[in-house]
Chain A
Amino acid sequence: MRTDLAVIGAGPAGLAAALAASARGVRVTLLDAATQPGGQFYRQPGAGLGAARPEALHHGWRTWERLRDGLAASAVRVLTDHHVWCVERTPDGFTVHALLGPEQEEPVEVHARAVLLATGGYEQVLPFPGWTLPGVVSAGGAQAMLKGGLVVPGRRAVVAGTGPLLLPVATGLAAAGVEVAALVESTAPLRLARQAPALAGKLAEGVGHAAGLLRHRVPVLTRHTVVRAHGEDRLTGVTVAALDADGHVRPGTERHLPCDTLAAGHGMLPHTDLAESLGCRLDGLAVDVDTEQRTDVPGVWAAGEATGIGGAALSLAEGHIAGCSATAHLHGTARGPAPAALKARTALRRSAAALDSAYALPAYWSEQLTDDTVVCRCEEVTAGSVREALDLGAGDERTVKLLTRAGMGWCQGRMCSTAVAGLAGCAPTPAKRPFARPVPLGVLARHHPQEGLS
C-alpha cells in the first residue's frame, strides 16, 4: 500500500494533520490502533452500542463534529485497528509496519513518502500502598472505559492524584451515576490561582467542570493525597490525608473513605517509541520538534502529546501546523503553516506550561511507599527491593532495572519508570524500547529473516 503521508494516531492531532494535508491535495493514510478515530479526548462509544447522545460524555463536541464530518468528506484513507509497531526508513521514504485487528497477528505495511507521528500519550500513576487492588484504575482508564464501553467499575468512587484530567473524570463518573465520594487533588488552590492569567483560555472549560462538581455535590479536597488503598481482593476504601506546605503528609489528618473504585492519575507521559526507533531526537521525555513540528529526521513530523503534554486544543493546533508543513514539503513549495495558526499554538503552549507548573507532582510521594508496596506492576517488584538495590549502589533507573527486573515486564516500564527513577532520586530517562507493540515472533522472523529468529 502506497501513500504520500502516513499519519499515525487519529486523535485530535492526527485528525487535524490529516485533514489539513488532505485539503491541500496530499494523499493521506491515517492509521490508528483503536476501532474508531477520535483518540483519547474524542473516544467514541463502540458502534454497536447505538449511542444517540454520545455528547453527554464529552466537552467540545462541535469540534469533534467538524473533524468527523471533515474526515467523512475527505479523501483520507482511514485504517483503524492498525497497531503500528515500527516505522522504518527506506531509500524512497518510509515503511510503516502495523499489526491488524484485535489479536494483532496479521502484518500490514504502508509505504509513505513522509510520516507524521501523532501518537499521543498515556497516563502516569505514582504508586501507593494498595494501588494494585482491583477497583483501582487510572483516571484516564476510567474515562476511556466510560466513553468507549459505557461502563463504570463500581458505585462509589474517589478520584485522586493531581492534574487537569481529574476534573472531567470526576464529573463524567458522577454524570454516569457513580457517587463520587471525593476529588482528592494534591495541588493547593493557590498555586492554580497564581497561574490564572496564563490559564485564561482554559477558564471556560474549568468553570464547566467546577459547575459539574457542584451539581453532583462532589466534595473537593485540595492539598490532600491518598496514602493507602484498602481491601483484600477488591478495593473497599482509601485513607486520605492532608499535605503540609512542603508536601509532607500532616500526621493526624488521615481519614477513611469507603469506596469500591479509585480513579488515580498524576499527569501524562508522551508516547515516543516510534519516534525513537526512527532515531528522532527527544527533548526530555517528548519528541523534539521545530516551529513547523518537524523532527530532526527529514520527512518525519510529530504533533500533539507525543511532543509534550498540553491538552486536546493544543494537539489540534499542532496537528494542523504539522499537516500544512508536511504538505509544503511534499509539494516542494515554501508555503508552510499560516502565522495565525502559529500564534494560536503559542498561546495554548503558554497555558499548557502554566498548568504543568501548577500541577506539580506531590513532592514527597515516595514517603508513603511501605517496603511491601509493589512499584513495578508487571514484575511485582516492591519498593523494598528497589531500595535494596539502591543500597547496593544502584544509582539510576537502568541499574535498578537490571538488579530487580523493575520495568522489564509486559508494559516495558511505561507504568513504573517515573516511580523507579523517583526512588533512585534521578529524572526518568527515555526507555529505548525496540518496538512500540509486542510483535509475534513469526512476524519478526519474516521481517528480519537473516537474524534467524525462530
Chain B
Amino acid sequence: MNPLELAGARPGPAFTVTFDGRPVDALPGQTVAAVLWAAGVTSWRDTRRGGRPRGVFCGIGVCFDCLVILNGRPNQRACLVPARPGDEIGTQEGTGHGRTRTPDGTGDGSTEEARHAD
C-alpha cells in the first residue's frame, strides 16, 4: 500500500519540474515539498551558518525550515507552494542569494535576487 492507493487517488496527468536541474515527476495538487518527498528528496536547503541540510519540519508553514529557491526566487516555503509544470526548484544555500546548483552538484547556475526584502 502507498498513500495514493490508500486514498484511491486518480490524479490528473503528471508533469515535469526540475530539482537542481534534474527532471522530477510531479502530480497536480501536490506542494513543492510533496513532489520532492515523492521523488525521495528530503533536504533542499543548507543552513546559513553551519551549512547543514534541512527540509520539511512542521509541514504547515510555521517553521521556515523548508525554504527553497523556486524559479529563481529564494525563501519560498516548499510545504505551502503548489508545484506547477516547468517549475525550477533549487537547493537554497544560506540566504539563497548566491549561486544555484546544477545536476552534477557544482554551483554555476544563476539566481535572480529576491525582489522583496525578506
Q: Which residues of A contact B82 (CB under 8 A)?
A: 35, 46, 102
Beta-carbon nearest neighbor of B36 in chain A: A151
Q: In the complex the two chains form, is B58's CB within 8 Å of A233's CB?
A: no
Known contacts A46-B29, A144-B79, then 8 further A-B pairs from the complex at CB < 8 Å, ordered by chain A residue: A45-B7, A53-B7, A56-B7, A102-B82, A103-B76, A141-B79, A144-B60, A176-B1
Q: Which residues of A contact B2 (CB under 8 A)?
A: 152, 176-177
Q: Which residues of A contact B6 (CB under 8 A)?
A: 53, 56-57, 150, 175-177
Interface: A279 (CB within 8 A): no
Beta-carbon nearest neighbor of A235 in chain B: B42
Q: In the complex the two chains form, is B59's CB within 8 Å of A140's CB?
A: yes
Q: In the complex the two chains form, is B62's CB within 8 Å of A153's CB?
A: no
Q: In the complex the two chains form, is A134's CB within 8 Å of B42's CB?
A: yes
A409 to B4, CA, bound (A): 36
Q: Which residues of B contact A248 (CB under 8 A)?
A: none
Per DSSP, are chain A's interface residues mostly helix, strand or loop, or mixed? loop
Q: In the complex the two chains form, is A137's CB within 8 Å of B56's CB?
A: yes
Q: Which of A23-31, A335-343, A435-443 contacts B (4 or more CB under 8 A)?
A: A435-443
Beta-carbon nearest neighbor of A269 in chain B: B62
Q: Which residues of A contact B55 (CB under 8 A)?
A: 134
A379 to B62, CA, bound (A): 15
Mark contacts of B13-41 with chain A using CB atoms, 8 A cut-off: 1 yes-contact digit, 0 otherwise. 00000000000000111110110011000
Interface: A419 (CB within 8 A): no
Total A residues in contact with B, Cβ cutoff 8 Å? 60
B34 interface neighbour in A135, A145, A414, Cβ under 8 Å: A145
Interface: B99 (CB within 8 A): no
A53 to B34, CA, bound (A): 19
Pairs across A and B, CB under 8 Å, 10 listed: A50-B10, A50-B11, A51-B7, A141-B60, A142-B59, A143-B59, A148-B34, A176-B3, A410-B63, A442-B116
Interface set, chain B 83-118, CB cutoff 8 A to A: 116-118
Interface: A105 (CB within 8 A): yes
A29 to B49, CA, bound (A): 43
Q: Which residues of B contact A148 (CB under 8 A)?
A: 31, 34
Interface set, chain B 41-61, CB cutoff 8 A to A: 42-43, 47-50, 52-61
Q: In the complex the two chains form, is A50's CB within 8 Å of B37's CB?
A: no
A450 to B116, CA, bound (A): 20
Interface: A234 (CB within 8 A): yes
B29 interface neighbour in A47, A134, A154, Cβ under 8 Å: A47
Give A contacts to B, CB under 8 Å. 33, 35, 40, 45-54, 56-57, 102-103, 105, 122-123, 125, 132-138, 140-146, 148-154, 175-177, 233-234, 377-380, 409-411, 414-415, 438, 440-442
Q: Evaluate whether A234 and B42 lie within 8 angstroms (CB atoms) in the complex, with A46-B30, A48-B12, A149-B37 already known.
A: yes
Q: Evaluate whether A411 and B3 lie within 8 angstroms (CB atoms) in the complex, with A380-B50, A441-B117 already known.
A: no
Q: Which residues of B contact A140 (CB under 8 A)?
A: 58-60
Closest chain A CB from B73 CB (angstroms): 8
Q: In the complex the two chains form, is A153's CB within 8 Å of B9's CB?
A: no
A45 interface neighbour in B9, B12, B63, Cβ under 8 Å: B9
Q: Evaluate whether A150 and B118 lie within 8 angstroms (CB atoms) in the complex, with A46-B28, A48-B27 already known.
A: no
Interchain pairs with CB closer than 8 A, number: 175
A143 to B67, CA, bound (A): 20
A143 to B60, CA, bound (A): 10
Instruction: Name the residue among B5, B27, B59 with the largest chain A CB count within 10 angstroms.
Output: B59
Mark contacts of B60-82 with chain A using CB atoms, 8 A cut-off: 1 yes-contact digit, 0 otherwise. 11111101000001001001111
Closest chain A CB from B55 CB (angstroms): 5
Give B contacts to A, CB under 8 Å. 1-12, 27-31, 33-34, 37-38, 42-43, 47-50, 52-65, 67, 73, 76, 79-82, 116-118
A141 interface neighbour in B27, B57, B76, B117, Cβ under 8 Å: B57
Closest chain B CB from A419 CB (angstroms): 13
A154 to B36, CA, bound (A): 12
Closest chain A CB from B48 CB (angstroms): 8
Q: Which residues of A contact B58 (CB under 8 A)?
A: 122-123, 138, 140-141, 415
Q: In the complex the two chains form, is B81's CB within 8 Å of A146's CB?
A: no
Q: In the complex the two chains form, is B37's CB within 8 Å of A233's CB?
A: no
Q: Which residues of B contact A54 (CB under 8 A)?
A: 7
Q: In the complex the two chains form, is A144's CB within 8 Å of B59's CB?
A: yes
Q: Evaluate whether A122 and B37 lie within 8 angstroms (CB atoms) in the complex, with A49-B11, A134-B43, A441-B116 already known.
A: no
Beta-carbon nearest neighbor of A142 in chain B: B59
A148 to B82, CA, bound (A): 11
Q: Which residues of A contact B11 (CB under 8 A)?
A: 48-50
Q: Which residues of A contact B116 (CB under 8 A)?
A: 105, 440-442
Q: In the complex the two chains form, is B1's CB within 8 Å of A175's CB?
A: yes
Beta-carbon nearest neighbor of B38 in chain A: A151
A233 interface neighbour in B27, B43, B61, Cβ under 8 Å: B43
A150 interface neighbour in B34, B57, B76, B81, Cβ under 8 Å: B34
Q: In the complex the two chains form, is B3's CB within 8 Å of A150's CB?
A: yes
Beta-carbon nearest neighbor of A409 in chain B: B64
Q: Evaluate whether A149 and B33 lie within 8 angstroms (CB atoms) in the complex, with A411-B64, A415-B62, A441-B116 already known.
A: yes
